Amino acid sequence: MLVLLAAIFVLHLCSITLLLAATIHNAWWMTDTVSTDIWGRWTLVGGQWNFTEIPNVNAKEYLQAVQASSVLACIFCILGLFVFVAQLYTLPKGRRFLFTGVFQLLAFLCIMIAASIYTEIFHKGEENGWYGASFILAWISVCLTFLSCVTYFILRKKTA
């Protein structure tokens, strides 16, 4: 049982790391001279990367929704880890880790909403670029947080 709990803890840490990397790193959309994330756009001018605002004013509300959902996913996942550790010591034997599962479910829903909105609204029809590493990490985080959520809902605290 101890090995299972350690593996779940590592899965949760991987989820947090990927969520933070996807939210912070500037590689959601890439071209040869532009790197865009959910916070701004970096352009390569004269061999130097310069920060600029995202020019698409029409989708500002969608961008704010993506930003808020990504940050909330990180917060819920981190809170879920703290609740998991607290439940290890306070939860009676035979009970499920429901509160941790709820936090992971919320993190899953938030990052799924963020990645889905970004996929649907931004860069639709653009052919001179590609989705970057942060975008891919966001979708991997969707899978990991869902797996973690289901694991917490199934997991019971047993005697070793």
| In the predicted structure, residue 159 carries a pLDDT above the cut 60 | no
In the chain, % of residues over pLDDT 90 = 53
pLDDT per residue over 43-66, tens digit each? 988 889 898 887 766 788 898 999
pLDDT per residue over 82-114, tens digit each? 999 998 888 887 788 889 999 999 999 999 999
| In the predicted structure, residue 160 carries a pLDDT above the cut 60 | no
3-state SS string over the chain?
A: CHHHHHHHHHHHHHHHHHHHHHHHCCCCEECCCEEECCCCEEEEECCEEEEECCCCHHHHHHHHHHHHHHHHHHHHHHHHHHHHHHHHHHCCCCCECHHHHHHHHHHHHHHHHHHHHHHHHCCCCCCCCEECHHHHHHHHHHHHHHHHHHHHHHCECCCC
pLDDT per residue over 117-152, tens digit each? 999 988 777 788 899 999 999 999 999 999 999 998
* Domains of the chain and CATH, by start: 2-28+58-154 (1.20.120)
In the chain, % of residues over pLDDT 70 = 96
Please tell me the predicted confidence (pLDDT) of residue 56.
Answer: 67
Task: Supply the pTM of this predicted model.
Answer: 0.90
| In the predicted structure, residue 4 carries a pLDDT above the cut 90 | no
pLDDT per residue over 133-142, tens digit each? 999 999 999 9
* Confidence grade of residue 37 (pLDDT, cut at 50, 70, 90): confident
Please tell me the predicted confidence (pLDDT) of residue 80.
Answer: 95
